[in-house]
Amino acid sequence: MPITVEHVTHFLTAAAEIIHAHRDELTALDAAIGDADHGANLDRGFAAVLSRLPTVADKDIGTVLKTTGMTIVSTVGGASGPLYGTAFVRAGMALADRHELSDEDVVLALEAALAGIVARGKAQRGEKTMVDALAPAIEALQSALAEGKSLGRALLAAAAAAEAGAKATIPMLAMKGRASYLGERSIGHQDPGATSTAYLLRALAMTCSRNEEEA
C-alpha cells in the first residue's frame, strides 16, 4: 500500500509525540556531553512543524517535508536544527511532486536525508553522531526489503538497527560538535542526536506498520 501525504502527516505527528515524550531523556543525555538543550529544542521544533502542517495539507509530499525542514531550521537551536532541517529538506527534494511513495521512494528519502546530514555536519560513522543511528537503519531497511518483508516490517527492523546504533555510541570518542571538546570524557555517554534519530525512525516504523494493519 503506497504512502500518501496523509501518512506523512501521521508520521510527523507521531514524531512530535515521541520527541515530546522523551524530551527530558534527550536533554539529560545532552547535559552530559553538550548544551543540555537537545530535547527542549527538538520538542519546540516539532511543535512548530505541527502548527504548519495544515498549511501544506493539500501539497505534495516533497513540499511537506521541505516545509518541515525549513521550520526546524528556523525554530531549533544548536547543531541539531541545521542538521535535522537539512535532512528533511533533502528528503523533500528527493520526493518532489510525489503524492504517493513506493518502498523504494522511502529508501531514497532516507538516503537523501543521510547525505544531507553528512554534507552539513562533515560526520562519518563511528564519530558519535546521528549518522551512527541513521546509516545502519538504512542498511537494515534495504536488507529487509530485499528479503521480501513489507515496508512496515522493514522499517521496524530499521528502527531496531537505529536503536542499536544509538547504544553503540556509548563507548565511542566524540569527534564532532561540542561533545568533541570533552575528548575522552565523552566516552561512556550515549549520543543524544543518535538517540533522537532512533526515536524518529521508531515513529516512522510505527506509522507505516499501523497503516499496513489497517489496510
DSSP 74-128: HH--TTHHHHHHHHHHHHHHHTTT-SEE-HHHHHHHHHHHHHHHHHHH---TTSS
State the average pLDDT over residues 119-139. Answer: 95
Provide the percentage of residues in the chain whose pLDDT is more than 90.
83
* Alpha-carbon gap, residue 195 to 38, rounded angstroms: 10
pLDDT of 209? 93
What contacts 104, CB < 8 A, 6 or more positions away? none
Q: Are 35 and 28 contacting, i.e. CB atoms less than 8 angstroms apart?
A: no
Give the burial class of 35: count Cβ atoms within 10 A of its Cβ; 0-12 exposed, 13-18 middle, 19 or more buried.
middle
State the average pLDDT over residues 184-197. Answer: 90
Res. 181: pLDDT tops 70: no
Res. 212: pLDDT tops 90: no
* Alpha-carbon gap, residue 206 to 58, rounded angstroms: 24
Look over the chain and give the mean of its residue pLDDT values, rounded to a whole number.
94
DSSP code, position 4: E
* Alpha-carbon gap, residue 215 to 47, rounded angstroms: 29
Q: Which residue has the higher pLDDT, 50 or 178?
A: 50
Residue 170: phi and psi, rounded to 5, are -55, -50
State the average pLDDT over residues 92-117. Answer: 97
State the average pLDDT over residues 120-138. Answer: 95
Give the closest residue to 68 by CA, choosing from 97, 95, 91: 91
pLDDT of 34? 81
* Alpha-carbon gap, residue 154 to 30, rounded angstroms: 30
Res. 202: pLDDT tops 90: yes
State the average pLDDT over residues 184-210. Answer: 93
| Lookup: cell for 49 | 512543524
* Alpha-carbon gap, residue 180 to 127, rounded angstroms: 9
508520521: which residue's cell? Answer: 11
- Quick: pLDDT tens for 58-71: 999 999 999 999 99
pLDDT of 162? 98
Q: Which residue has the higher pLDDT, 33 or 12?
A: 12
Thinking of the domain 1-212, which architecture would CATH place it in? Alpha Horseshoe (1.25)
**Confidence bin at 76 (pLDDT 50/70/90):** very high
Q: Which residue has the higher pLDDT, 162 or 77?
A: 162
* Alpha-carbon gap, residue 38 to 36, rounded angstroms: 6
The length of the chain, given as a count of residues? 215
For the chain, the structural domain boundaries read: 1-212
